[in-house]
Structure 1
């Protein structure tokens, strides 16, 4: 079984982000990690290959520093990696899907492709759908339970209100993983050292015939979330507190 796992090099959710210009941020000193949702897909892929044999290949589209994220993914069990290098910090999801498809097409057909349900930086949750459309494959996102039986995948996903949906999909297909699918492993030191020797195939996005500045959408402006003022305590009876709350929502916050 050959499985591709699409991963993204993202800032740690605990990192302090400093904006630079209108649509960029300082990334030279920012800690980056494997997108957490992608780790669920990677863990599932590695577990499947450990049971059934085969190969896990991780693929990313991003700046040169994403090599460190690929090494982390290989320490978790991926056999090798493909790095489509870009210059900018943000890439349109349509172009990302095209680059992922082109890189995987060059490497050969897969039995299964994993992504995360979305990335924790831009939170667009579009790439897996655009990739599926480009490759002509079925896709199911936010999968929290998976069973593979031959050329069929049976999946569960939450649909709100505590309800779960069960779907079947023929393989090959694309699965967007989310929390609950598994518990991603923590790489041991020997695995980290082995990952340093594993192969990373590097290519520029332009080598795939893709202009990274020709996306259907572009990020125009980034703004820091404004700091909220201190909490306001309401006093008096319940009726008085309700009246005060309505006044705050109407006059101060202008929500109602």
Structure 2
């Protein structure tokens, strides 16, 4: 069985973000980078399936971006992926979901993958469009937001998280693509021996120009932080005095607004 898992490297969400000079994305200097959280669940599920199937199966991890994404690929290899594919693209952040999906589909279309795993969405853009668009491009069955996964006899049984906490169960024949949600599993920490083994695993580098033929369907016009809001006021003291104080503030604010 041939399995592909697609990952994205994103800034650590604890980083301090500011718009870049072009005003269409954030300034990438001084940011810490990590594997997209949703993609960690995808990698873990793909590795579990690889372990379930044993010999004769192959698990490839793919990522698009500049040289730094090699670190995310190496982490996935240390978690248990067999080989890596790095689509080299210094301008990946400026591509819309359609273009990213087109790149993945162009790579995967003649590889015969039986199952493709992706995260539900990326933490930086959050479009949740790439996985489903790849499935459409390849003509694969697709199920999204999986919080449960099982594979047997050429079919995937998935448990989906729906609105209101309701769980839906779906069954898909392969080839198929699934997107993975928080709670699907507990991603493993790479052990030191596996980190050392990952250094010897193959990472194929492919220039994005060899795969991308699609023009963008959407472009980022501007990127800016939320507007600053006024500070709050903390009132302290006895209830009676607080009521009088609050009424005075509200009357003052009402007068200003008028």
TM-score of the pair, normalised by structure 2:
0.86
| 2:85 is equivalent to residue 82 of structure 1 | yes
1:210 Cα shift? Answer: 2.5
Match of 2:186 in 1: 183
Q: Which moved more, 1:227-236 or 1:10-19?
A: 227-236
Match of 1:231 in 2: 232
Match of 2:156 in 1: 153
Match of 1:15 in 2: 15
| 2:28 is equivalent to residue 24 of structure 1 | no
Q: 1:122-201 to 2 correspondence within 5 Å?
A: 122-201=125-204
Tell me the SS of whatever aligns to 1:24.
coil
Instruction: Give the Cα separation in 1 of the matches to 2:203 and 2:167.
Output: 38
1:233 Cα shift? Answer: 4.6
Instruction: Give the Cα separation in 1 of the matches to 2:211 and 2:16.
Output: 34
TM-score of the pair, normalised by structure 1:
0.87
Instruction: Give the Cα separation in 1 of the matches to 2:136 and 2:196.
Output: 38
Instruction: Give the Cα separation in 2 of the matches to 1:174 and 1:233.
Output: 51
Structure 1 gaps of 5+ residues are none
Match of 2:66 in 1: 63
Tell me the SS of whatever aligns to 2:232.
coil
Q: 1:73-112 to 2 correspondence within 5 Å?
A: 73-88=76-91, 89-106=93-110, 108-112=111-115
Q: How many residues align?
A: 243
Aligned partners of 1:44 and 1:182 also within 8 Å: yes
Structure 2 gaps of 5+ residues are none
Q: Quick one: structure 1 residues 136 and 189, their matched pair in 2 at CA, closer, same or farther if it must change by over 3 Å?
A: same
Instruction: Give the Cα separation in 2 of the matches to 1:229 and 1:197.
Output: 55
Aligned partners of 2:140 and 2:175 also within 8 Å: yes
Aligned partners of 2:20 and 2:28 also within 8 Å: no
Aligned partners of 1:84 and 1:103 also within 8 Å: no
- Alignment deviations for residues 183-236 of structure 1 (CA, whole Å, 9 cap, x no partner): 00011112112212211111111112526xx21111111111334443345796
Aligned partners of 1:59 and 1:83 also within 8 Å: yes
Q: Quick one: structure 1 residues 97 and 231, their matched pair in 2 at CA, closer, same or farther if it must change by over 3 Å?
A: same
Q: Aligned-residue CA RMSD in angstroms?
A: 2.4
Instruction: Give the Cα separation in 2 of the matches to 1:130 and 1:72.
Output: 26
Which one has the largest radius of gyration?
2
